[in-house]
Amino acid sequence: MLRIENIHKSYPMGKSKLHALKGVSLTVNDGEFMSIMGSSGSGKSTLLNILGLLDSFDQGLYYLDNLVIQNLTETRAAFYRNKYFGFVFQSFNLISFKNAMENIALPLYYQGVSRKKRNAIALEYLERMGLREWANHLPSELSGGQKQRVAIARALVTQPKVILADEPTGALDSQTSLEVMELLKEVNREGITVIIVTHEHDISQMTNRIVRLRDGMIIEDIAVEKKDTICLT
């Protein structure tokens, strides 16, 4: 479903260049639940952003659903992002002046869904997240866990093929982190591919596949042994 070959990406850092990805190749199949691990600066977020078409790459090949992704116009990229991906960020990235329901409904606005219909759909998702009564609250009135659940609902509302989560638990306490991970797992059970970037071992252990990056290169790509229950502490 997602396939990249020999991707290079560098950022200008003043006069020198930061080589963030040094020839990364990766294939992600439909319905996978995987995590990308690495310390900060390993290039894991860059990889996720490239996969999600939020960032461009310098060199290499990217096949998205057998489409070659190359020299995309922003308009085209917006279309693909809306169709294929749902994003979950560490800092939630909710729009501060829109309430929970409006935030969730926003991707549907860009799909041209009518206001009534998209608000109804957004409410359904809020219900699913257990946040029905928080529909009219602004993000500033929600707790971190609630915000992340709203963000996940927003990512899901377009029924994407892939959820890309960049440190989704990075700003949450362990109990809330667990809840969020359970939610993502449930999402994955419905057949949606979930890719999580994290540096936390516990979090990555909950996924089925771990790709480990160091200095812009994949150093490990392993399947996690299946456990039926998750041991806490």
Partner 1 sequence: MFDLDTWQEIFSTIRKNKLRSILTAFSVAWGIFMLIILLGAGQGLQNGVKANFEADAVNTIWISAGQTTMEYKGLKPGRFLRFTNRDYYETDIQNKHDIDQLAANINVYNKNISYGKESVNYRVVGTFPALEAVELPNVTEGRFINKFDIERQRKIALISSKIQKELSKNEENLLGKWIKIDNISFKIIGIYEEANDRENNKVYIPFTTAQQSFGLINRVDFISMTLTNLTIQETIKFENKLKKQFASRHNFNVEDKRAIFINNNLKNYEQILLLFAGITGFIWLIGIGTIIAGIVGVSNIMIIVVRERTKEFGIRKAIGATPWSIISQLLLESIFLTTIAGYIGLVLGVGVLEIISKYMPKSDFFLNPEANIEIAIVATLLLIVSGALAGLVPARRAARIQPVEALKEE
- Tokens at residue 230, please? 């998750």
Q: Which of 25, 39, 115, 220 binds partner 1 (CB under 8 A)?
A: 115
Stretch of 17-25, 72-80, 194-202, 209-217 contacting partner 1, by CB under 8 A: 72-80
Is residue 16 part of the contact set for partner 1 (CB under 8 A)?
no
Overall residue count recorded for the chain in this entry: 233
CB of 16 closer than 8 Å to CB of 176:
no
Q: DSSP H helical segments within 129-173, as ranges? A: 144-156
86/186 Cα distance (integer angstroms): 15
Classify burial at 45, counting beta carbons within 10 Å of its beta carbon; exposed 0-12, middle 13-18, buried 19 or more: buried
Residue 93 or 205 with smaller CB distance to partner 1: 93
Closest CB to partner 1 among 155 and 206? 155
Q: Is 63 a residue that touches partner 1 (CB under 8 A)?
A: no
- Residue 54 binds partner 1, judged by CB under 8 A: yes
Torsion sign (Cα): 96, 100, 105, 107: positive
Residues that bind partner 1 in the complex, under the rule CB under 8 A: 49, 52, 54-56, 74-75, 78-79, 81-83, 87, 89, 93-95, 97-98, 102, 106-107, 109-111, 114-115, 154, 158
